[in-house]
Amino acid sequence: MLCAAWLAAVLRAVPVCAQEQTPQGDPVVVVIDPGHGGENLGGEYEDYTEKEMTLVVAKAMKEELEKYEGVTVYMTRTGDEELSLDERCAYAESVGADFMFCLHFNMSGEHTLFGAECWVSAFGEYYSKGYGFASIEIDMLQELGLYSRGIKTRLNDRGSDYYGIINHSVERGLPCVLIEHCHLDQANDQPFYDHDEKLKAFGRLDATAAAKYFGLRSEALGVDYSDYETVSVPVPSGVMRPDQTEPDVCMIDVTEQNMQNGEVTVEVSAADYDSGMLYYTYSYDNGETFSALQKWPDREADTFRFTMQVPPHIVPQIMVNAYNGYDLYTTSNMVSLPSMDYKTAEELAAELALKEAQESASDDVTQGDIPADAALGNQTKRQREAVLREVAQDENEEQTVSFAYFLGVCLVCALLVLGMAVSMILILWGRRRRRRRRRRHRSSGRS
């Protein structure tokens, strides 16, 4: 099968001077077509609306391209007008256009795809001219930092060019390229369009690519592309069909498993002989979930290694999806690994925090700055001391009472003894008096 990506590799080897494409003296007529407009908004995502973005890019492209000599530039719309695809092509034909550049921004259903791509006609000289310009454009978008999704063709069910603007241009004998600058719904691409100045930079880039393609020069800009070497794209004999099959092969092998930190190194071998490799995604749960799309590290190489992070406490079941230039993928074999019970950074941090809290608590018991648990212990201790104090007080009181009782008893005993002693004295004294009286009676009776 004839394939755009395969051809690109071959074409790099045969550069040709831009001057050969634009004979000296013939002014080039360029039509810029800002995609969408009016009710036709194009892609919409967050604050971004495609019809507005394409108009900013188109105006900047026209302004920049008009700084070159030997070129006349038109736009299919300069405001928010709605035009059919055929009306745009009819306008381009009416002004005698040599080429039409259709400016767009892309979106994907799952918001996963990222990068820039160019669509060209699959037929004859429209293919070779389109591809010639697109290879310059894509190279420049890559230099800007965007990921290249390639230069591609697409056909509808009837076997004609799928994109209406390309189809109608070809019908009117007009070469045309559809530029999808990048994806307006993807974080990887967002830094390239998040400001009007960046959209204008896209416009200047598009103008420079066109100037290089036509071999233009600009005194105002101080540049001369009349000797610029473009790739020579032979007019294909057949239809340049899109790739409709998944990658031919995708195999993986695990080369390293780090049990301490969960890193797993995987070797991927994948190839697509039609449109080449574009992205890959990986899974550690047997394909239940996959990572975000990753750039294919080297588009010329079929084999590469990458390291993925596997979470702990699972049995890793590794697999990879490898995507070709048309976003079709092949799933690899699955590699099952021993479970890795390492601790994550979060788990280690939580453990450390707990240990520190415990150490701090034991310090506070001695230092007096009391965390909750220690405070509870101290409170109990204080209560116990209070109870002990109360018991001691009670004991003291009891001792005082016993002593007073003892003193009382002693006093009573002493009084009893004293009473008895007094009684004895009185009795004895009474007896002596009676004896004396009897003696006196006897002595008076004798006398």
Residues lying near Zn ion in the complex (CB under 5 A) are found at: 35, 42, 104
Q: Which is nearer to Zn ion, 179 or 320 (CB)?
A: 179
Identity of the residue, 35 or 150, whose beta carbon is nearer to Zn ion in the bound complex = 35
Is the CB of 37 or the CB of 236 nearer to Zn ion? 37
Q: Between 119 and 214, name the residue whose CB sits nearer to Zn ion.
A: 119
Which has the closest alpha carbon to 54: 44, 69, 67, 46? Answer: 44
Give least dist CB 132 to Zn ion, A.
23
| Distance in Å, CB of 111 to Zn ion, minimum | 16
Rounded to an integer, what distance in angstroms lies between the CA atom of residue 217 and that of residue 212? 9
Contact 35/228 with Cβ under 8 angstroms? Answer: no
Query: Which residue's Cβ has the minimum distance to Zn ion?
Result: 104
Closest of 179, 175, 86 to residue 124, by C-alpha: 175
* Min CB(119)–Zn ion separation in Å: 11
Choice between 35 and 115, CB closer to Zn ion: 35
Minimum separation from the CB atom of position 50 to Zn ion (A): 5
What type of residue is 98?
Answer: D
- Distance of alpha carbon 368 from alpha carbon 238, whole angstroms: 90
Q: Which residue has the tokens 């160019």?
A: 118
Residue 271 Cβ vs Zn ion, minimum distance, rounded to whole Å: 32
**Cβ nearer to Zn ion, comparing 35 with 132:** 35
Q: Phi, psi at residue 139, to the nearest 5°? A: -60, -40
Helix (H, G, I), strand (E, B) or coil at 82: coil
Nearest distance in Å: CB 107, Zn ion: 8
Closer Cβ to Zn ion, 35 or 236, answer by number: 35
User: How far apart are alpha carbons 120 and 11 in whole angstroms?
Assistant: 16
What is the rounded CA–CA span in Å between residue 284 and residue 151? Answer: 33
Task: Please state the three-class secondary structure of 182-205 as a single string.
Answer: EECCCCCCHHHCCCHHHHHHHHHH
State in angstroms the smallest separation of the CB of 3 from Zn ion.
Answer: 25
What distance in Å separates the CA atoms of residue 121 and residue 177, rounded to the nearest whole number? 8
Quick one: which of 101, 128, 138 has its CA closest to 240? 128
Q: How far is the CB of 181 from Zn ion (least distance, A)?
A: 10
372-446 and 345-367 helices, crossing angle to 10°: 20
Residue number with CB closer to Zn ion (104 or 168): 104
How near is the Cβ of 100 to Zn ion at its closest, in Å? 15
- Give 385's DSSP letter: H
Indicate the residue among 105 and 131 with the shorter CB distance to Zn ion.
Answer: 105
- CA–CA dist 308, 102 (Å, integer): 40
- Cα–Cα distance list, 164 to 87, 175, 253, 261, 353 (Å): 11, 13, 44, 52, 63
Q: Which is nearer to Zn ion, 40 or 142 (CB)?
A: 40
Separation of CA 278 from chain center: 21
- Between CA 371 and CA 391 the distance in angstroms is 30
Q: Which is nearer to Zn ion, 36 or 129 (CB)?
A: 36
d(CA 229, CA 231): 7
Cβ count within 10 A of residue 438: 9
List, edge to edge, every strand of the sheet that includes 263-271. Answer: 249-257, 263-271, 303-309
Q: Where are the alpha helices (DSSP H) in 113-225?
A: 124-144, 164-171, 196-214
